[in-house]
């Protein structure tokens, strides 16, 4: 069983929801990313979504765009991100790590070389934002051959027929984009999310996570009532941005937010 | 979108999923997949709808002023001492460039699809002006995204768009030029998908945009082929067009692709020279990758990050290129070369001084390439150049480079 499947089974047995924080690798610097990853686990993360910085993050809002720009100042590339995962794995063999990013850095490395290096480094899943299943056969084959999960997005605009197609090639979990918009957008309609999740669950037995637009304990708790996992990105990145020059304060702030959300998730599912 | 039966082999691209060989395709986030499928279906329907095509053709004739003339640049040709240069005068179109052809086509489609708001990205401002123009005429809300640096260097066009009632949003992320404007327009589209139509200005982006934009621009070559036959009794020996995203180039080339005797040249922005790295010539010096919804040649670093480009011309200052051009390069049908800023400026001045026509800096790259070719060919040879836009918008830029205060 993959690390992701194992983690979701554990959570299901305990009737808990997964908390999945997102950070951009290299923001504000590569060393801080490693410290942040451990701090996230210590403060309640079940899975870490590690962003691979890209110069043109089309699906992201201004907060994650700025995080990419801060990371790219250090010249961090996909191989460096895999190096961070490898170092994380030296002391954490249990927490699944999902890479989230755009296709071009993988294209340059080559699907096979990337999948091989990612598996070696201890990556568990790969979410490539701008790679729909229709275009993804080469990468999908390469990931599957190494036991890595390909994670895909489902959006409010995804039709029932497409949900089935996407679910059929997905592994690990499905990531439902809770609104039409970019990451870090303002509002989220929990009723609409619940309705769509019911539709998704008709097509798959995979766990379903919800992201985009979850910013605090309250919105996280609301989503936890209907989803298996809650992804929180821009809210974490904002704290990293605010405390970019003071790592101790950054780690404390991130732990604080994570603690609140963890508590809210756990009380929502009691 | 099945290819019509009379089309010849090289004109049959793309495949139903929008691929030109290994290039093109549809590489976008899931939220856009549904809307793109909807657009594909709408476009497949209306391109075969006689009412829609009649409305498009009527606008081309009475609003744009088509067919645009072909002009024999006799004095300049004589000065160069070689082949004859002929200009396809897209600069004489309403709004001053070829961009209006596509803007009208897509805006008519937007209207039929019930969209009330259009957005566009623009580099030099020509596509922004064309979109704002059509929006004014059709009573649609219009928002144009433009790199903050381009807003600065294309002030007259920014003011034109505002006069036309459009909102111009300066984009300050990334490299503050055309690629960043495209990112921002995509973000707007994904957020306002229900009422908004995104009019992409070039033959790039996810399927069906590269094919749809080409089809609306194809009229350039269809007219030019007929006009050249009428005026010279034969097909031209060579075609030349500038290539940023490549919409005027594919518009000119497409009708000639299966005419084996017609050589084709695409002039990319060579900036300070392709060897310096400061340029915007992905076909000449880039490599394949995925950006803005399609696989194509890109300017990127070893990590797959898109790198900053440089060109004197805002309209060519883009790190990618339409996927059909990538395919035409690989199969060897079209020859793509970098033309430097300095060479383009010489083409700009030559056309003004010998023919009394002020060309856009974008088109000046094609003129420079044509002048090189003309010198190599005999006087009985004909070179047809796409004069894609007029240069009034560029006089501030040229004056500044030459140290002249206006």
> In 10 A of CB A28, how many CB atoms?
21
Residues B83 and B178 in one domain: no
Per CB-CB distance under 8 Å, the chain A contacts of B290 are: 102-104, 107, 130
Element (H, E) at A153: strand A153-154
Q: Cis check for the bond before B67: say yes or no (omega within 30 of 0).
A: yes
Q: How long a stretch of residues is chain A?
A: 270
CA dihedral B32, B34, B35, B37 (to 10 degrees): 120
Q: What are the residues whose beta carbons fall under 8 Å from the beta carbon of B271, sequence distance 6 or more? A: B278, B279, B280, B281, B309, B310, B311, B312, B338, B340, B341
Regarding whether B41 and B81 lie in a shared domain, the answer is no
pLDDT band of residue B124 (cuts 50, 70, 90) is confident
pLDDT tens for residues B59-72?
A: 999 999 999 999 99
Closest Cα in chain B to A154: B30
Helix, strand and coil percent figures for chain A, each rounded to 5: 50, 15, 35
Cβ within 8 Å, pair A56-B187: no
Q: Give me the architecture of the A3-268 domain, per CATH.
A: Alpha-Beta Barrel (3.20)
**Chain A CB contacts of B194 below 8 Å:** 180
Residue B239's φ and ψ, nearest 5 degrees, are -115, 145
Structural domain of B184: 9-61+99-213
Residue tagged 């996992």 (tokens): A229
Residue A48: C-alpha distances to residues A125, A153, A165, A237 (Å): 10, 17, 26, 14
From B213, B235, B255, the end of a domain falls on B213
**Chain B residues with beta carbon closer than 8 angstroms to that of A78:** 303-304
**pLDDT score, position B2:** 44
- Domain contains B3: no
pLDDT at B5 over 60: no
Three-state DSSP class for residue A104: helix
Q: How big is the CA angle at B393 (ends B373 and B313), to the nearest 5 degrees?
A: 50
pLDDT at position B175: 87
Residue B144 lies in a domain: yes
* Average pLDDT in chain B: 96
Is B4 contained in some domain?
no
Tokens of B235: 């097909």
Q: Decide the pairing of beta strands B70-72 and B84-89.
A: antiparallel
Residues B376 and B259 in one domain: yes
- Same domain as B118, residue B91: no
What interhelical angle do B155-163 and B126-138 show, nearest 10?
10
Q: How much is the average pLDDT of B200-205?
A: 97
Whether the Cβ atoms of residue B360 and residue B389 lie closer than 8 Å to each other = yes
Beta strands B23-27 and B84-89 are unpaired
Please judge whether B28 and A166 are an interchain contact, meaning their C-beta atoms are less than 8 angstroms apart: no
Burial A190-225 (b: 16+ CB within 10 A, else e): beebeebbeebbebbebbbbbbbbbbebebbbbbbe
A153, A173 contact by CB (below 8 A): no
Task: Tell me if B216 sits within 8 A of B106, measured CB to CB.
Answer: yes
Same domain, B246 and B304: yes
Asked whether the beta carbons of residue A132 and residue B173 sit closer than 8 angstroms, the reply is: no
Q: Work out whether strand B117-122 and strand B141-147 pair parallel, antiparallel, or are unpaired.
A: parallel
Classify burial at B58, counting beta carbons within 10 Å of its beta carbon; exposed 0-12, middle 13-18, buried 19 or more: exposed
Which one of B185, B213, B241 terminates a domain? Answer: B213
Q: pLDDT by residue (tens digit) across B297-316?
A: 999 999 999 999 999 998 99
- Distance of alpha carbon B392 from alpha carbon B381, whole angstroms: 31
Instruction: Tell me the count of A-B CB pairs closer than 8 A.
Output: 126
Nearest C-alpha of chain A: how many angstroms from B222?
33
CA distances in angstroms from A13 to A7, A152, A166, listed in the order given = 10, 24, 26
Say whether both B124 and B223 belong to one domain: no
Q: How much is the pLDDT for B6?
A: 60
Q: What is the mean pLDDT of residues B184-192?
A: 94
Cross-chain Cβ contact A105/B303 below 8 Å: yes
pLDDT of B9: 86
Residues in chain B: 406
Residue B76 has a pLDDT of 98
Share of chain B above pLDDT 70, in %: 98
Helix A190-203, helix A160-169: angle, nearest 10: 60
CA distance A235 to B102: 41
pLDDT given at position B318: 94
The single residue listed with the structure tokens 């592994």 is A171
What chain B residue is nearest to A151 in terms of C-alpha separation? B30
Instruction: State the CB neighbour count (10 A cutoff) for residue B52.
Output: 17
Tell me the per-residue pLDDT of B330-350, one tens digit each, with 9 for 90 and over. 999 999 999 999 999 999 999
Q: Scan for tokens 């080469």, then name that residue.
A: A138
| Shared domain check, B270 and B391 | yes
Q: How far apart are CA A156 and CA A174, in angstroms?
A: 13
Q: How far off is chain A from B33, nearest CA to CA, in Å?
A: 7
* Shared-domain flag, residues B38 and B144: yes
Q: Tell me whether residues A104 and B302 touch, CB distance under 8 A.
A: no
- The CA distance from B14 to B211, in Å, is 7
Cβ–Cβ of B31/A132 closer than 8 Å?
A: no
Cβ pair A158:B34 closer than 8 A: yes
For B238-288, write each residue's pLDDT tens digit.
Answer: 999 999 999 999 999 999 999 999 999 999 999 999 999 999 999 999 999
* B74 within domain boundaries: yes
- How far apart are alpha carbons B64 and B41 in whole angstroms? 27
Q: How far is B145 from chain A (nearest CA, A)?
A: 14
Chain A nearest CA to B34, separation (Å): 6
B346-379 residue pLDDT tens: 999 999 999 999 999 999 999 999 999 999 999 9
Residue B171: CA count within 13 A, CB half-sphere: 29
Nearest to B29 among A56, A107, A130 (CB): A130
Residue B356 sits in the same domain as residue B397: yes
Q: Find the largest Cα–Cα distance for chain B.
A: 57
pLDDT along chain A (270 residues), means of 10: 94 97 98 98 98 96 95 97 98 98 97 98 98 96 97 95 95 93 79 93 96 89 94 96 98 98 89
Q: Which residues of A touch B34 (CB under 8 A)?
A: 155, 157-159, 162
- Selecting from B179, B186, B193 the residue whose C-beta is nearest the C-beta of A157 gives B193
Which residues 6+ apart lie within 8 Å of B242 measured at CB? B248, B249, B266, B267, B268, B269, B313, B316, B339, B362, B363, B364, B365, B366, B386, B388
pLDDT at A187 (0 to 100):
73
Domain boundary among B213, B241, B272: B213
Q: Which of B26, B173, B183 sits opposite A135 (nearest CB)?
A: B26
In terms of C-beta distances under 8 Å and separation of at least 24 residues, what long-range contacts does B151-159 make, across chains too?
B153/B314, B153/B396, B153/B397, B154/B124, B154/B125, B154/B314, B154/B393, B155/B396, B156/B125, B156/B392, B156/B393, B156/B396, B157/B122, B157/B124, B157/B125, B157/B126, B157/B128, B157/B129, B157/B393, B158/B125
pLDDT at position A26, please?
98
Does any domain span residue B1? Answer: no
Q: Number of folded domains in chain B?
A: 2
Q: Are residue B50 and residue B118 in the same domain, yes or no?
A: yes
Catalytic residue list contains A60:
yes
Same domain for B222 and B90, yes or no, is yes
Tens digits of residue pLDDT in B13-71: 999 999 999 999 999 999 999 999 999 999 999 999 999 999 999 999 999 999 999 99
Question: How, if at all, do strands B196-199 and B293-298 pair?
Answer: unpaired
CATH number at residue B44: 3.40.50.1100
pLDDT of residue B7: 62
């Amino acid at each position: 069983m993959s690390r992701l499947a194992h983690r979701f089974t554990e959570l299901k047995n305990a009737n808990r929801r997964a908390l999945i924080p997102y950070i951009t690798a290299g923001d504000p610097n590569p060393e801080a990313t490693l410290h942040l990853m451990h701090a996230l686990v210590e403060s309640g993360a079940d899975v870490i979504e590690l962003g691979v910085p890209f110069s043109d993050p089309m699906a992201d809002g201004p907060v994650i765009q700025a995080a990419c720009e801060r990371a790219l100042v250090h010249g961090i590339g996909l191989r460096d991100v895999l190096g961070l995962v490898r170092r994380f794995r030296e002391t954490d063999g249990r927490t699944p790590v999902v890479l989230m990013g755009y296709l071009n850095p993988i294209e340059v490395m080559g699907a096979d070389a990337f999948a091989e290096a990612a598996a070696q480094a201890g990556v568990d899943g790969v979410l490539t934002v701008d790679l729909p299943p229709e275009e993804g056969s080469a990468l999908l084959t390469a990931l599957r051959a190494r036991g890595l999960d390909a994670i895909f997005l489902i959006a409010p605009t995804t039709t029932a027929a497409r949900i089935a197609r996407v679910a059929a090639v997905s592994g690990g979990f499905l990531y439902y984009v809770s609104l039409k918009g970019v990451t870090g957008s303002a509002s989220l309609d929990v009723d609409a999310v619940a309705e769509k999740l019911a539709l998704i669950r008709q097509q798959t037995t995979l766990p379903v996570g919800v992201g985009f637009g979850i910013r605090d304990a309250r919105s996280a708790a609301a989503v936890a009532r209907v989803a298996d996992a809650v992804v929180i990105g821009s809210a974490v990145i904002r704290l990293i941005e605010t405390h970019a020059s003071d790592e101790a304060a950054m780690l404390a702030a991130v732990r604080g937010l994570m603690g609140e959300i963890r508590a809210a998730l756990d009380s929502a599912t009691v | 979108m099945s290819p019509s039966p009379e089309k010849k082999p090289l004109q049959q691209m793309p495949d139903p999923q929008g691929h030109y060989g290994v290039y093109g395709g549809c590489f976008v986030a899931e939220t856009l997949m549904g809307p793109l499928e909807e657009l594909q279906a709408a476009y497949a329907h209306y391109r075969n709808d006689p009412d829609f095509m009649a409305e498009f053709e009527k606008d081309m004739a009475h609003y744009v002023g088509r067919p645009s003339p072909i002009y024999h640049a006799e004095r300049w040709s004589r000065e160069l001492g070689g082949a004859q240069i002929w200009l396809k005068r897209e600069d004489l179109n309403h709004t001053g460039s070829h961009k209006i052809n596509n803007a009208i086509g897509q805006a008519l489609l937007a209207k039929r699809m019930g969209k009330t708001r259009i957005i566009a990205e623009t580099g030099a401002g020509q596509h922004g002006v064309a979109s704002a123009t059509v929006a004014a005429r059709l009573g649609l809300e219009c928002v144009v995204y433009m790199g903050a640096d381009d807003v600065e260097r294309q002030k007259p066009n920014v003011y034109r768009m505002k006069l036309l009632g459009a909102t111009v949003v300066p984009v300050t992320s990334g490299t503050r030029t055309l690629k960043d404007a495209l990112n921002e327009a995509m973000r707007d589209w994904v957020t306002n998908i229900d009422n908004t139509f995104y009019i992409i200005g070039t033959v790039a982006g996810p399927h069906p945009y590269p094919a749809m934009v080409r089809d609306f621009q194809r009229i350039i070559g269809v007219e030019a082929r007929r006009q050249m036959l009428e005026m010279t009794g034969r097909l031209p020996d060579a075609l030349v067009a500038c290539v940023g995203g490549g919409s005027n180039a594919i518009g000119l080339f497409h009708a000639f692709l299966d005419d084996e005797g017609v050589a084709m040249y695409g002039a990319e922005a060579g900036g300070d020279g392709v060897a310096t790295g400061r340029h915007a010539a992905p076909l000449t010096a880039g490599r394949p990758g995925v950006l803005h919804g399609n696989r194509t040649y890109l300017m990127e670093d070893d990590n797959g990050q898109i790198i900053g480009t440089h060109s004197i011309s805002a309209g060519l200052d883009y790190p990618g290129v339409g996927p059909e051009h990538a395919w035409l390069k690989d199969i060897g049908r079209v020859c793509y070369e970098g033309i430097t800023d300095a060479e383009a400026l010489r083409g700009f001045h030559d056309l003004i001084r010998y023919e009394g026509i002020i060309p856009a800096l974008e088109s000046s790259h094609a003129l420079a390439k044509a002048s090189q070719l003309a010198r190599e060919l005999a006087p009985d040879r004909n070179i047809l150049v796409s004069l894609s836009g007029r240069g009034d918008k560029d006089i501030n830029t040229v004056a500044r480079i030459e140290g002249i205060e206006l």
